[in-house]
Amino acid sequence: MEDLYGRNVTYLRLSVTDRCNLRCRYCMPEDGGCKREHEDMLTEDEMIMAVSVAASLGVRKLRITGGEPLVKKNILSICERACAVPGITERAITTNGTLLPALAGPLKAAGIGRINISLDTLNEEKYRRITRRGELKEALNGIDAALDAGFEKIKINAVLIGGFNDDEVKDLAELTLKMPVDVRFIELMPMYDSGDFGPEAFIKCDTVLEKLPDAVPKEPDGGVARLFALPNALGNIGLISPVSAHFCGACNRLRLTADGRILPCLHSDDEYRIKGMNEDEMREEMRKAILHKPKWHGEMSYAARTHTRRDMNQIGG
Ligand code: SAM
């Protein structure tokens, strides 16, 4: 279905939980953030109904996200049912990877084709610091498990943070020389309460190229990343610049939060509640959300700490 600006909305990001086993500093507060009651959250059946309604409105690509989707007890059942919804042709998940050693194979068997794994640093101590509790080895084991499971595509996502991992751009990019993965650098976005970083933490994605003089431009693959590759690499390097060079004109996304709100834009406070609705009511709300998709996300600045009402774990990224 098209929005008022002629953008065809074909991509749903479904957040199955706002909980996580890590506490990444730019994503959620240390105490886990505001706890919602169980009965306020979407049930598995409501999630599947929402995916099916979205598909009836033209959504073709589904990404399961969170919080950390793999901490959800019924994640395999959700994936299996959501992946089987008629009309959904691209099925992806975003995870911090730490639980993949047990779940990569079952996720693949449930129908997940593509997987994005978050990894901001290759340094153990820095990994502990940014995640407030994680162990690098677990994330790396998760990447190995994803490679073994044979997903169609694996992408590693690193949030670029000045003074934290901008000295690791080359090392992270060189993962594409060692394994068949894309490595994508994402600009740090100002969210609600997360991030005890100063203004220096925001750096434009373009700075990545200064550290990779051998990288050559590649054809776009239909996604929001600008693509480059190192010589003889097995995967691409992607630059995602939502702050310095927004891609709102090409945005084809809707987001559904774990507490049952449709968000037509990641950086707007507009929400359409579908929790507790029947199929027809859900379709009506989803139509409204698509029609009222904002033209662009407005000025965003990490230094000025512009922010929305939700942290990223309560949206899904
Ligand atoms: N737990 C999963 C994970 O770690 O990938 C999925 C959810 S997480 C909210 C999805 C993505 O959002 C991750 O790649 C994360 O790095 C990114 N993210 C979270 N907060 C962000 C922020 N403030 N700016 C940029 N990216 C952010």
The helix (H) or strand (E) run that includes residue 268 is none
Going from the Cα of 280 to the center of ligand 1, the distance in angstroms, rounded, reads 32
Kindly list the protein residues whose Cβ atom lies closer than 6 A to any atom of ligand 1: 20, 26-27, 65-66, 68, 94-96, 118, 157, 159, 186, 188-189, 191, 312-313, 316-317
Q: Residue 299's pLDDT is what?
A: 75
pTM of the model as a whole = 0.97
Q: How far apart are the first and last CA of the chain?
A: 22
Phi and psi angles of residue 239, each rounded to the nearest 5 degrees, phi first: -115, 120
- Residue 183 CA to residue 172 CA, distance in Å, equals 7
Per-residue pLDDT reduced to its tens digit, 42-86: 999 999 999 999 999 999 999 999 999 999 999 999 999 999 999
For residue 117, the cross-strand partners are: 95, 156
**Atom number of ligand 1 nearest to Cα 15:** 7
- Residue 222 CA to residue 114 CA, distance in Å, equals 15
Going from the Cα of 120 to the center of ligand 1, the distance in angstroms, rounded, reads 10
**Atom number of ligand 1 nearest to Cα 117:** 5
How would residue 304 be classed by pLDDT, with cut points 50, 70 and 90? Answer: low
Per-residue pLDDT reduced to its tens digit, 144-200: 999 999 999 999 999 999 999 999 999 999 999 999 999 999 999 988 766 678 889
**Atom number of ligand 1 nearest to Cα 187:** 25
**Atom number of ligand 1 nearest to Cα 242:** 25
